[in-house]
């Protein structure tokens, strides 16, 4: 195993597992406070997609060299990740949770409706390129586009019913 690839892959796994812990905690707290989950039926698709992506990165990338330019771009994306997490605070979760409070309008949410989804799109493409796995980047980018089309439609319908026609 390439030591650079091992460190990169370990970072991804620990990051994603940590985020699941944070998301579970935030989801439980939000639901206990009266929030509601919307469109939970697609969530297993999201989980399967991200699990498959990580497993492909590990299986095909464990012995690959690190491409420094792509790694630098991935590092920049982590700055965006932190900005998003800080902006959403306790409202960040991996599920669609709707509250009766106003939408977050600070941080990157001032300029982009779904900065977290933009980040995920970029990470799904960039992380495989760190390991030179172009086909993983393309395959999972296409799969993610389909999953996000479902998710964003459901989320927008829940938080902006006037724009979804419901």
- CATH number, domain of 93, equals 1.20.120.1630
Q: What share of the chain is helix, strand, coil (3-state, %, to 5)?
A: 75, 0, 20
Domain of 43 in residue numbering reads as 3-164
CA–CA separation, 141 and 59 (whole Å): 18
Confidence of residue 162 (pLDDT cuts 50, 70, 90): low
Averaged confidence pLDDT in the chain: 94
Domain total in the chain: 1
What is the share, in percent, of the chain residues with pLDDT greater than 70? 96
Residue 166 pLDDT > 50 = no
For residue 96, which phi and psi values (nearest 5 degrees)? -90, 105
> Which pLDDT does position 160 carry in this prediction?
74
pTM value > 0.85: yes
> Which pLDDT does position 2 carry in this prediction?
79
CA–CA separation, 24 and 31 (whole Å): 10
Q: Nearest-5° angle of CA 64, CA 78, CA 106?
A: 160
Residue 136 pLDDT > 70 = yes
């Amino acid at each position: 195993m390439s030591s650079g690839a091992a460190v990169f892959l370990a970072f991804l796994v620990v990051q994603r597992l940590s985020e699941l812990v944070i998301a579970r905690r935030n989801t439980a707290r939000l639901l206990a406070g009266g929030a509601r989950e919307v469109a939970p039926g697609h969530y297993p698709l999201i989980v399967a997609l991200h699990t498959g992506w990580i497993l492909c990165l590990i299986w095909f990338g464990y012995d690959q060299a690190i491409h420094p330019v792509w790694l630098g771009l991935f590092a920049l994306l982590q700055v965006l990740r932190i900005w998003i997490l800080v902006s959403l605070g306790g409202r960040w979760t991996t599920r669609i949770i709707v509250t009766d409070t106003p939408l977050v309008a600070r941080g990157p949410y001032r300029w982009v409706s779904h900065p977290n989804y933009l980040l995920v799109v970029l990470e799904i493409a960039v992380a495989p390129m760190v390991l030179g796995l172009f086909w993983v980047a393309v395959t999972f980018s296409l799969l993610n586009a389909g999953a996000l089309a479902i998710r964003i439609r459901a989320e927008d319908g829940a938080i902006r019913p006037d724009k979804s026609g419901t």
